[in-house]
């Protein structure tokens, strides 16, 4: 199974989801079975490390963000089994980029969180222009979404 998390610039939300999902993969002993990466719909942060505010908030919870931002490429639809968008605008951009036969690979992260679905709130908010509380909130909603995704793709080992 190969999973790609996608946000706008690949420096806040998607690297957070990638790192949290990677921690779940390791926790469940699935390192050889599930591959994970992240990317952005835009190119403005390509090559940049994760946002320091995201990294600091994640580190406080024992999660290490790593890697360098990259932009989604058409080949990602071939390479990954599921492309997990952080919000509806990312999903729409991915749908527009996807070959028709691969559009079903695009999902929203919070679709995997039953409470978010029940509340009708399936977007991971962008913390970039806000304060520290926004990064903490993103960690909470990303954790719920990645746990739900793990239940769907990786089981409960």
The overall pTM is greater than 0.85: yes
**Quick one: pLDDT at residue 157?**
41
Q: Which of the residues 13, 22, 107, 110 is marked catalytic?
A: 13
**Quick one: pLDDT at residue 155?**
60
pLDDT tens track for 2-39: 999 999 999 999 999 999 999 999 999 999 999 999 99
Per-residue pLDDT at 156 exceeds 60 = no
Upper half-sphere CA count for residue 154 (Cβ side, 13 Å): 27
87 catalytically annotated: no
pLDDT tens track for 73-117: 999 999 999 999 999 999 999 999 999 999 999 999 999 999 999
Directed axis angle between helix 52-59 and helix 13-27, to 10°?
30
Q: Which of the residues 2, 28, 53, 126 is marked catalytic?
A: 126
CB 142 within 8 A of CB 13: yes
**Quick one: pLDDT at residue 154?**
72
**Quick one: pLDDT at residue 90?**
98
Q: How far apart, in Å, do the first and last CA atoms of the chain sit?
A: 15
Q: Which of the residues 7, 22, 51, 70 is marked catalytic?
A: 7
13 catalytically annotated: yes
């Amino acid at each position: 199974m190969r999973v790609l998390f996608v946000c706008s610039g690949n420096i806040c939300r998607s690297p957070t989801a990638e790192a949290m999902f990677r921690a779940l993969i390791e926790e469940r002993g699935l390192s050889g079975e599930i591959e994970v990466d992240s990317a952005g719909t835009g190119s403005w942060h390509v090559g940049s490390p994760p946002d320091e505010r995201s990294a600091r908030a994640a580190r406080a919870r024992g999660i290490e963000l790593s890697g360098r931002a990259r932009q989604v490429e058409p080949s990602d639809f071939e390479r990954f089994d599921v492309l997990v968008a952080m919000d509806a605008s990312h999903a729409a951009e991915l749908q527009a980029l996807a070959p028709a036969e691969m559009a079903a690979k695009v999902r929203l992260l919070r679709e995997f969180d039953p409470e978010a679905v029940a509340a009708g709130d399936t977007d991971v908010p962008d913390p970039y222009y806000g304060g520290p509380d926004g990064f903490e909130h993103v960690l909470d909603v990303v954790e719920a979404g990645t746990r739900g995704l793990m239940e769907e793709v990786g089981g409960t080992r």
